[in-house]
Structures are given as structure tokens and as C-alpha cells.
Chain A
């Protein structure tokens, strides 16, 4: 993939990436982090799965957001190889309009929130979610199912802690 094709391939994903970031970081950081994401995408373009470009970008974005948060928290700068879930949005990030649902969502683990957010807010398929999380489709499906079950349980119990 050369420079022109890179631009051609990823230009349609600028907006989804912007929205992904807007849900997770301060708006003022969106452009800088998007630049980081696409720089990594350019370097790693050979490993981009065909037809899964957006999900693959979200995978990179997960690491970039996780690192960004770590830097903000002054807790190390290492690349978050296994910590894509650290990019999970909070209920506040997602601006969930229903307080009950927001509370239940906030009480989930980062891993659960990350899995649910990709399927619910980024509108990914299970296969795309698998790419974004760096796991198999089966694992992704199981993670989503368990996460939504935990969310449903918390909603039914009225938990909001």
C-alpha cells in the first residue's frame, strides 16, 4: 500500500476514528491522537486485515488511548500491548442519557465496557470487534455476551455502583 492508496483506503475512516476518540478522550486531544493512530497504521499497514480496516484502526486506537490515559495519569509510558481494554470509555465519556443505564455501565469492568462499546457505540460486528480487541471471533462473542449479561444483571438489580 503506497501513500496514495493509504489515503484512499483510510479517508472514509477519519470520521469514525474521530468519534471513537471523542467518546474516550478530551476533545482537544482528538486530533493529536488521531494523528498518532494513523502514523501507526501507516507503519503497520502491511498487517492490516483486508476488509477490516476500521476495526484494525480501533485496535490501534485502543492502545493509543490507553497510553494517552497512562501518560495523563503519570503512570508509565510503556506500550499497552495487552491493555487495549484500558481504552474503554466511561459512562461519562459515552454520555449515556439514561442515568440508570449509565450507572450500570460504569460499574462494569473496563474489559466489559470496551467490548460493549465497540459493538454498541462503534457499531462493529462481532468479527470486527474481534479484530479490534485482538482476539478470536469466538472469544469476542463470548466477551460481548458475558458483558451484556452482566450489564443486564446490574440493570435488573438496580445496581449503579
Chain B
């Protein structure tokens, strides 16, 4: 019997005996609708994520931020030598740094939300060209250094173990996975002891997470499940529990534990202190705190010249008031040089070409509405021609944008968020032609039979 039971007669018999199902065809509008809300991971999801990381040690970082050892860049003379080569299939955007980990997107115009819209610049948009700075996102610490820092700061006993993601079966299937495309070294550092876990994954930069299981106390079990499985000390099934065993019961619902949480002011102060100790220098005014029923969450956006770039560090407190999770990315930004930028009005033309897209602060995309996705999932069939809807771009907000090049290197480039009366039309880089070496345009018009 092989691992996937391909040679197993019983499995094969079952497979053959099953009648084919005629499943309804689902529209991509389901995906668009599901993702129409600019949700951040809520509290419990963050806790679940941290828990999952500690168990599986292979999860990508969620909300992440670069270490802000930033100097205020000087505006230099435009540098004509800066050239960034973009890949054709690798994850292009990197505003949410976990995309550098997943890298599975094969961006094409099929995914470009403005399919079906034809944008033109409104009269209020600037026609002035300018300059902007390009930064390379680099590690501020190695994975090993970051793990050591976390270990010392949180007093986690034990030895850090090191590994390579390529040996853990996570790589290899997707050509777009950044490190396999010749990017920076991929390595991991792990330590799990006494309910505390540290995990650092050095992809383009070290993404780290810390998890302290003891910070969240489960109450006494008030509801037990009929199924009987091995349980831990509070009655929850363990990871290795096999629900097919019926020799004990496990907890279905725990009693509420009255939380002992820090005040919002204390939480901000502690976040500043902890982030600072780990490498992100922020002030209390940078910290956003949200208190939930029995937990508290705080986040700090990473800023470049005072503007958030879409990367964040996060910290959570469990119901004991102790730090439950922290995650972020140990990175810094090296100023590469200054490039010419095109005008806001000219940048509007780039909305029709996905290759110019960048990621940026999430708040800039709030307001993206479904009607802006008119074309997605309804690719023109042979001979069918879309009659585009003309929309005027009425507002532009200059912002740092992030992208990942063909080698997996992450960059911050001058960019602009453009808006119509429907909301954000897109965020594109406004670097002058020649700075980016674009991949061949993928029309994405081949269509996909969905049955």
C-alpha cells in the first residue's frame, strides 16, 4: 500500500463504485463576494493561526512588518540604472508579505479587476511628473539571529533547531514559489518548549512568530463530546487524537474564564516595548489596539517616510494578560536610488495592465466594490467582445507600493492608488518606463472550463 492508497483494492473499489456527481457550476462571483470585505484576521483567527504555526511550523506569516531601522531617505537625482525584472508567474505583489511565501498566483489579466472597465483620467488628476525612491527589502537579522532574540527575550528554554523548507515538502510544486526561483536562501529556525514556540522562516526576509500557550487559560469543561479520544490535561483532544478510538470523552465547550487583560494604554506601552526589543521602533501613536471578549490584540503598521506600506507587526494577549502571540518580519529597507515617476494622469493608463500592479496599505483598498469586478469570471468567449464601461478616475493617492521580482526579492517602489466614484480602481507603480522589466503580457483569455 503506497502512501496515497493508490494500490489499495478497497479504496479503489470504493472509488470505482461511486457514481459521478454532477456538481453545480459555481461562479467566480462567490470568490469576489467572499473577498469583498477588507477583513483583517480577527482575534480568534489570529490565535488559531498562532496555534497552528506552533504545531505545524510551516505556516506563512500572517500580518507582518518590517523592522523599522529606517533613515529618512534623501531625494537623489534620478538613477537610470535601477532596473527590476519581474517574473511572469511568480507572485507579483508583496504588500502582504505572506504573498512572498505563497507565491502561487499566476497573475494575468483574467484576475485584473478592471476587466470590463476603461478608465480615463479626470481633470483633477495631476499631470506633473516627478521623482520617487526605490528600496530593496532586506533582512535586518538572519533567521537564526531572530530566533535567538525571541528565545532570549521570552526566556524559552531549549535548543533552536534549524532546517530548510525545501526538505519539508513545502516546495517544489509551484514554479512561482519565490525561493525556488533562485531567490534568497530559505531556512527555518524552530524552538518549542514548555508551551512556548518560536518559529522563524527566512524566505525573502525572516518572518517570525512566537506563541505562548499558557497565556490563554481554558476553563473547566462544561460540555463533553460523545466521541472518545485521547485528551490533554484540560480535556481537549491532542493533535494525535484519533476520533475513531472510543475509550474516553473530550471537551466540547469550556467554561468562560474571566480575563485579566491590560488596559489599552498599558497594551500600547507594552507593544512599543516588545516591538522595540525585537527590532521595530514605534511609538504608542502607531499602535492600534482592539479588545475582544477575553483577549486583546495590537498591531503596528510598518511605515516608510510616515506612510504605511501594508506590513504590520502584531501582538496578542491571552486571557491571563500575558503575551500570547507575536508575529512580524525582521526586515529593513535599503534605499537603492531615485527614479523618475510618471504623472497621476498618465498612471491611469496602467490600470488596464496587471503587470504594473503593486500592493500597498490595506486601507487604501477599502471601498473596493463588487461592481468593479464586472469582468472577472466572464472571460469573453470566442468572438465575443466586451463593451467597456468608461469610468473617470477622480482621485490619486501617492503611496509606497511593494512587489516581488522574478528572483523573489521584495521591493518598495513609488506608486499611486487611483479611485473612481466606485471606489479604488487599482494601485499601480508610477515609476517611469524602463525601471521595471515587465514579463510578457498574459492575456489570460484561454478560459477555464469549470464543470
Q: Are the CB atoms of A82 and B95 closer together than 8 Å?
A: no
CA distance A79 to B175 in the complex (A): 37
Interface residue SS majority, chain A: helix
The answer to the question of A17 belonging to the interface, with a C-beta cut-off of 8 Å to chain B, is: yes
A119 touches B93 (CB 8 A): no
- Chain A: which residue is nearest B34 at the CB level? A38
Judge whether A4 and B113 touch: CB under 8 Å. yes
* Cβ-based interface call for A7 (8 A): yes
Q: Which residues of B contact A144 (CB under 8 A)?
A: 5
Q: Are B18 and A97 in contact (CB under 8 A)?
A: yes
CB-based contact A4/B112 at 8 Å: yes
B293 at the interface (CB under 8 A from A): no
A: contact size bracket:
35 or more
| A125 and B2 alpha carbons, distance in the complex (Å) | 10
The total number of A-B Cβ pairs within 8 Å is: 225
Contacts of A123 in B (CB 8 A): 15
| A72 beta carbon closer than 8 Å to chain B | no
Q: Would you call A2 and B365 a contact (CB within 8 A)?
A: yes
Taking CB atoms, residues of chain B closer than 8 Å to A39 are 33-34
Measured between beta carbons, the chain A residues less than 8 angstroms from B15 are 120-121, 123
Name the segment of B96-104, B139-147, B295-303, B408-416 touching the other chain.
B96-104
Interface positions, chain B 19-39, Cβ under 8 Å from A, are: 19, 21-28, 30-37, 39
A132: interface (CB < 8 Å):
no
Instruction: Say yes or no: A17-B26 contact (C-beta < 8 A), given A116-B14, A120-B18, A148-B11.
Output: yes
Contact with A7, one of B18, B22, B32 (Cβ below 8 angstroms):
B32
B13 at the interface (CB under 8 A from A): yes
Q: How far is the CA of A14 from the CA of B31 in the complex (A)?
A: 9
Q: Are A46 and B39 in contact (CB under 8 A)?
A: no
Q: B96 contacts which of A2, A78, A151 (Cβ < 8 Å)?
A: A2
* Contact in complex: A119, B30 (CB < 8 Å): no
Contact assessment for A139 and B28 in the assembled complex, using a CB-CB cutoff below 8 Å:
no
Shortest Cβ gap from B424 to chain A (Å): 10
Contact at A7–B31, with CB atoms within 8 Å? yes
Q: Report the Cα distance A97→B26, complex, angstroms.
A: 26
> How far in angstroms is the closest Cβ of chain A from B62?
3
Q: Which listed residue, A7, A18, A119, A141, touches B24 by the CB 8 Å rule? A: A18
Contact of A15 among B13, B26, B33, B62 (CB under 8 A): B26
Please give the distance in Å from A81's CB to the nearest CB on chain B.
8
**Given the complex, which residues of B lie within 8 Å of A42, measured CB to CB?**
34-35, 37, 39
B370-388 to A contact mask, C-beta < 8 Å, 1/0: 0000001100000000000
Within 8 Å by CB of B34, from A41, A111, A127, lies A41
B346 interface contact, C-beta 8 A: no
B10 at the interface (CB under 8 A from A): yes
> How far does the Cβ of A17 sit from chain B's closest Cβ, in whole Å?
7
Contact B45 A47 (CB under 8 A): yes
B217 — which chain A residues lie within 8 A by C-beta? none
Q: How far is the CB of A12 from chain B (nearest CB, A)?
A: 7
Whether a CB of chain B sits under 8 angstroms from the CB of A71 is no
Alpha-carbon separation in the docked complex, A121 to B11 (Å)? 9
Interface flag for B17 (CB, 8 Å) = yes
Query: What CA separation (Å) do A112 and B185 show in the bound complex?
Result: 42
> A116 to B3, Cβ gap below 8 A?
no
**Residue contact A111 to B244, C-beta cutoff 8 Å:** yes
User: Is A5 a contact of B105 with CB atoms below 8 Å?
Assistant: yes
Chain B residues with CB under 8 A of A151 = 10, 14
- Give complex CA distance A23, B397 in Å: 48
Within 8 Å of chain B (Cβ to Cβ): is A11?
yes
- How many angstroms between the C-alpha atoms of A138 and B241 in the bound complex? 11
Nearest B residue to A144, CB-CB: B5
Residues of the B chain whose Cβ atoms lie less than 8 Å from the Cβ of A111: 227, 243-244
Check A98 against B35 for contact (C-beta < 8 Å).
Answer: no
Beyond A7-B35, A46-B41, A155-B10, whether A96 also contacts B112 by CB under 8 A is no
Interchain CB contact under 8 A, B113 and A120: no
* A–B pairs, 10, beta carbons within 8 Å: A3-B113, A5-B99, A5-B105, A12-B448, A35-B30, A42-B37, A47-B52, A50-B60, A105-B14, A148-B11
The 4 A-B residue pairs whose C-beta atoms are closest, nearest first, are A46-B62, A38-B34, A18-B23, A95-B19
